[in-house]
Homo-oligomer: A and B are copies of this chain.
Amino acid sequence: MTIDELDTPAVIVDLDLMERNMKRLAEYCTRAGIALRPHTKTHKIPELAKLQIQYGAWGITVAKVSEARVMRNSGIDDILIAYPIVADIKARELALLAQNTRLTVSLDSLEAVQSISCAAAERGVHIRLLVEVDVGMHRCGVATPSAAVALAQGILKLPNVEFAGLMFYPGHMMVPRPRFLELLVPLNRLLNEVYGAFAGAAIPIEVVSGGSTPTAFFSDEFQGVTEIRPGMYPFYDRNMVGADVVPVENCALSVLVTVVSTAVTGKVIVDGGSKAFSSDRFLSGHQRGFGLVVEDPDAELEALSEEHGHLSIAASSRPYRLRERLRVIPNHVCSTINMHERIYGIRGDRVETSWVVAGHGKLQ
């Protein structure tokens, strides 16, 4: 099958680029002595998670219990749920999963520990827990070394849960290098204070899980990090290009769309809208637009209806024909893949494979 035979809109992944991106980070991690535990919320595809493991990843990360179930059902048995699981209904599902999975969960409250301990004890399983520390994003995580130690001590007192270490997410560090280095100073100071507090309390820390795609190749600059959880690095996207994380040539994923209307002057309508791209915004500079048109850097995907992409061609000299196809690199690859039931792997013009997005719609 060739790309021309794909119905649109369709997400296509350049396999050569994706494999290169996967290998490049795995090699960096090997050199740096840091375990790679990719966040598979980006693609939600078990086959790709297994490919990441084949290329050197140590287990995977997911965001939700239902995503963990999808990955476990495909045979992956070392899973970190990097999300505070606080509800009993989810804790019971965790305990079920832990019967045949090396399961780790991050959290920032004693209530979550109690709920998980109780469910794990009922099933007679053990669940590994990471204490999340807020290193500056101010989303989840305890704020101080003493709060982190207190939570770890809470874990140590309860049955069927094991204190495995610390987790943090530097989500505020997708910034230019000089600013990154500025932010790194207080972050490392906090991490060192935490390590000191744990040493003082004689609590050993096995894992320090950090990292993200924007910071992935600087992971060795974070004090004491033993593993990282980047998600987007197999594909990258317009936001990663906008933040100077990679050049556009590294982007492996685009949405193949068809021009469906040229009736309105100065505009071209393509058959991918917010239900194909997501409405996620561009996070850099002028913050406008919803994708990069590979065939025409002067076109701007200026607005999205649900099923219509509004391409402004006012600044472009490229002629547009009804029924032609274009490739658009989306703002945010994680959100885009999540809109699709199936995505396609290509080499050149050939569709070499396709994958069901098995975790698509798995929100609980």
Judge whether A315 is part of the interface by a CB distance below 8 angstroms. Answer: no
List of B residues within 8 angstroms of A323 by Cβ: 86-87, 111, 115
**B322, A306: Cβ atoms under 8 Å?**
no
With A87-B7, A275-B338, A364-B8 known to touch, is A263 a contact of B308 (CB < 8 Å)?
no
Interface size class of A (residues with CB under 8 A): 35 or more
The answer to whether A361 has its CB under 8 Å from any CB of chain B is yes
Q: Contact between B109 and A322 (Cβ–Cβ < 8 Å)? A: yes
Query: A339 an interface residue at 8 Å Cβ cutoff?
Result: yes
Known: A281-B279, A307-B83, A361-B339. A90 touches B264 (CB 8 A): no
- A360 CB-CB contact with B under 8 Å: yes
Contact A308 B87 (CB under 8 A): no
A333-345 contact mask (Cβ, 8 Å, vs B): 1 or 0:
0110011110000
Query: Which of chain B's residues have a CB closer than 8 A to the CB of A322?
Result: 86, 109, 111-112
Give Cα distance in the complex from A339 to B340, angstroms: 10
Min distance, Cβ A240 to any Cβ of chain B, angstroms: 15
A117: Cβ under 8 A from any B Cβ: no
Cβ of A197 within 8 Å of any chain B Cβ, yes or no, is no
Name A306's contact: one of B10, B41, B262 (CB within 8 Å): B41
Q: Does A243 contact B (CB under 8 A)?
A: no
| In the complex, per-residue mask of A263-280: 1 if CB is within 8 Å of any chain B CB, else 0 | 111010101101110111
Residues on A lying within 8 angstroms of B by beta carbon are 5, 7-10, 41, 63-64, 83-87, 89-90, 108-109, 111-112, 115, 132, 134, 138-143, 171, 258-265, 267, 269, 271-272, 274-276, 278-281, 305-308, 310, 322-323, 334-335, 338-341, 360-364
A-B contact pairs, 29 of them (CB 8 A): A5-B89, A7-B89, A8-B87, A9-B364, A83-B271, A86-B258, A86-B259, A86-B261, A86-B322, A87-B258, A108-B263, A109-B261, A109-B263, A109-B322, A115-B323, A134-B263, A134-B264, A138-B264, A139-B261, A140-B260, A141-B263, A143-B265, A171-B305, A275-B338, A276-B363, A278-B278, A278-B279, A339-B361, A360-B361
